[in-house]
C-alpha cells in the first residue's frame, strides 16, 4: 500500500513537470507569444523592447527561462506580465469562489445524477424512462453559456418574477444566505450537464449489472427487491461513477468551470485563467496550469484509493 502511494506520488510529480514544460513550450512557440512588444506598448522603440526582454530574461535560453519561472512560481514571487500582480495571490483569491461553486455543483450533480440514473434504469422501457432520457439529452446538449445567460435573464433580470441575485460571488463568511442565493443559479447551470451525463452512464451500468449472475443469486436468496437493487445492483454499478466523478470534479476545481464562472461573473480560478489566456499572459497561465494539474493528479490518486476500497478485486495485497 505504501509502495503504491510512493509510486503514485513520484508519477504525479513527473506529470506536473511534463505538463508545465509542454504548456511553456507551446506558449513561447506560438506566433505573438512574445510578451515584450505587448508590455512595451504601442509607441515603443526597439530599445524599449530590448530593455524589457533583458529585464524579463527573455533572451536567456528557454530552459533557463523555464527554470526561473518555475522557481518564482513555487516561491510565490511570480508576477503577471500585463498587470504585474502576484500570480499565486491571484489564484488564492479565486479559490473560495471556485471551491464554493464546484463543491455545491458537485454535490448536486452527483445526487441528482444517481437519482436520475436509478429511476430511469428501474423504469427502463416505460414512459417515465423515455421522459427522463429526453431531459437528460437536452441537459447534455445545452451549452453552459446559453443556459447561464437564459437563466440569468429569466430568474435574475430586473422584472417582477425574478427572485435571484444576478451573478457575482459573496464570501460565505460575509453572508451565508447571500452566498447561497448568489451561487444557486451557477450551481444548477454547471450541474445540469453532468446530471444528464451521469444519469445516462449509471442507467446503462445498472442495466448491465442487473443481468449479472450474482444479482440472480441475491434474488434466489429471498432478498427483497429493494435490497437486491441497493446492495447488489447499485453498489456495483456505482464503482465506475466514482472514477467519473473524481476526474470531473478535479477538472472543475482545477478551473475548467471557465464558462460558468465567466457567465456569472464569479471571480474564481477559471475566470482568472480565461483572463490570462485573453491577454496571452504567460505567468498566470503557467500558474493556473500547475494548479489544475495538481488537482487532476491528486484526485486520480484519490480515485485509485477509493476504487481499491470499493472493489476488493483490485486491492493491492
- Which residues make up the interface to other proteins (CB under 8 A)? 212-214, 216-225, 227, 231-232, 235-236, 239, 310-313
Which of 32, 222 has the CB closer to other proteins? 222
79 backbone dihedrals φ, ψ, rounded to 5°: -120, 155
CB of 114 to other proteins, least distance (A): 17
Which residue lies nearer to other proteins by CB, 102 or 233?
233
Residue number with CB closer to other proteins (10 or 309): 309
Q: Smallest distance, Å, CB 232 to other proteins?
A: 6
Query: Is the CB of 212 or the CB of 265 nearer to other proteins?
Result: 212
Judged by CB, which is closer to other proteins: 163, or 225? Answer: 225
How many Å from the N-terminal Cα to the C-terminal Cα in the chain? 7
Min dist. Cβ of residue 218 to other proteins (A): 7
**In the complex, minimum distance from the CB of residue 235 to other proteins, in angstroms, rounded to a whole number:** 6
The smaller minimum CB distance to other proteins, of residues 61 and 312, is found at 312
- The dihedral over CA atoms of 45, 61, 25, 254, expressed in degrees to the nearest 10, equals -90
What whole-number distance in Å separates Cα of residue 202 and Cα of residue 208? 10
Question: How crowded is residue 185: how many other Cβ atoms within 10 Å of its Cβ?
Answer: 23
Is residue 191 exposed (0-12), middle (13-18) or buried (19+ Cβ within 10 Å)?
Answer: buried
The 10 Å CB-count burial string (b at 16+, else e) for 196-235 is: bbbbbbbbbbbbebbeeeebeebeeeebeeeebbeebbbe
User: Chain-centre distance of CA 31, in angstroms?
Assistant: 29
Q: At CB < 8 A and 24+ separation, what contacts does 162-170 make?
A: 167/263, 167/264, 167/265, 167/266, 168/264, 168/265, 168/266, 169/96, 169/97, 169/100, 169/266, 169/267, 169/268
Query: Least Å distance between CB 4 and other proteins?
Result: 19
Residue 301 C-beta: closest distance to other proteins, Å: 21
**Residue 181 Cβ vs other proteins, minimum distance, rounded to whole Å:** 41
Q: Which is nearer to other proteins, 57 or 235 (CB)?
A: 235
CA distance 299 to 242: 11
Compute the least distance from the CB of residue 261 to other proteins, in Å: 38
Question: Smaller CB distance to other proteins: residue 180 or 307?
Answer: 307
Name the phi and psi angles at 86, rounded to 5. -70, 125
CB 62 within 8 A of CB 29: no
Amino acid at each position: 500500500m505504501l509502495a503504491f502511494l510512493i509510486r503514485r506520488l513520484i508519477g504525479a510529480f513527473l506529470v506536473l513537470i511534463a505538463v508545465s514544460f509542454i504548456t511553456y513550450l507551446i506558449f513561447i512557440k506560438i506566433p505573438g507569444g512574445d510578451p515584450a512588444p505587448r508590455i512595451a506598448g504601442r509607441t515603443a522603440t526597439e530599445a524599449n523592447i530590448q530593455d524589457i526582454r533583458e529585464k524579463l530574461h527573455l533572451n536567456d535560453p528557454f530552459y533557463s527561462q523555464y527554470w526561473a519561472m518555475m522557481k518564482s512560481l513555487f516561491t510565490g514571487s511570480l508576477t503577471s506580465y500585463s498587470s504585474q500582480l502576484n500570480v499565486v495571490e491571484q489564484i488564492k483569491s479565486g479559490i473560495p469562489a471556485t471551491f464554493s461553486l464546484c463543491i455545491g455543483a458537485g454535490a448536486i450533480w452527483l445526487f441528482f445524477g444517481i437519482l436520475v440514473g436509478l429511476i430511469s434504469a428501474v423504469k427502463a422501457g416505460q414512459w417515465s424512462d423515455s421522459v427522463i432520457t429526453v431531459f437528460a439529452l437536452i441537459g447534455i446538449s445545452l451549452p453552459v453559456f446559453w443556459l447561464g445567460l437564459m437563466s440569468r435573464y429569466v430568474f435574475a433580470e430586473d422584472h417582477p418574477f425574478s427572485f435571484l441575485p444576478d451573478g457575482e460571488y459573496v464570501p460565505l463568511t460575509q453572508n451565508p444566505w447571500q452566498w447561497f442565493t448568489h451561487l444557486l443559479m451557477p450551481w444548477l447551470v454547471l450541474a445540469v450537464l453532468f446530471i444528464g451525463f451521469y444519469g445516462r452512464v449509471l442507467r446503462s451500468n445498472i442495466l448491465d449489472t442487473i443481468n449479472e449472475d450474482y444479482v440472480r443469486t441475491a434474488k434466489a436468496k429471498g432478498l427483497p427487491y429493494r435490497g437486491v437493487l441497493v446492495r447488489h445492483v447499485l453498489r456495483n454499478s456505482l464503482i465506475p461513477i466514482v472514477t467519473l466523478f473524481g476526474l470531473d470534479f478535479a477538472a472543475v476545481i482545477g478551473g475548467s468551470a471557465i464558462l460558468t464562472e465567466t457567465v456569472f461573473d464569479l471571480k474564481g480560478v477559471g475566470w482568472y485563467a480565461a483572463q490570462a489566456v485573453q491577454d496571452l499572459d504567460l505567468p498566470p497561465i503557467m500558474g493556473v496550469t500547475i494548479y489544475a494539474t495538481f488537482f487532476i493528479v491528486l484526485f486520480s490518486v484519490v480515485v485509485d484509493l477509493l476504487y481499491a476500497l470499493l472493489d476488493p478485486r483490485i486491492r493491492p495485497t
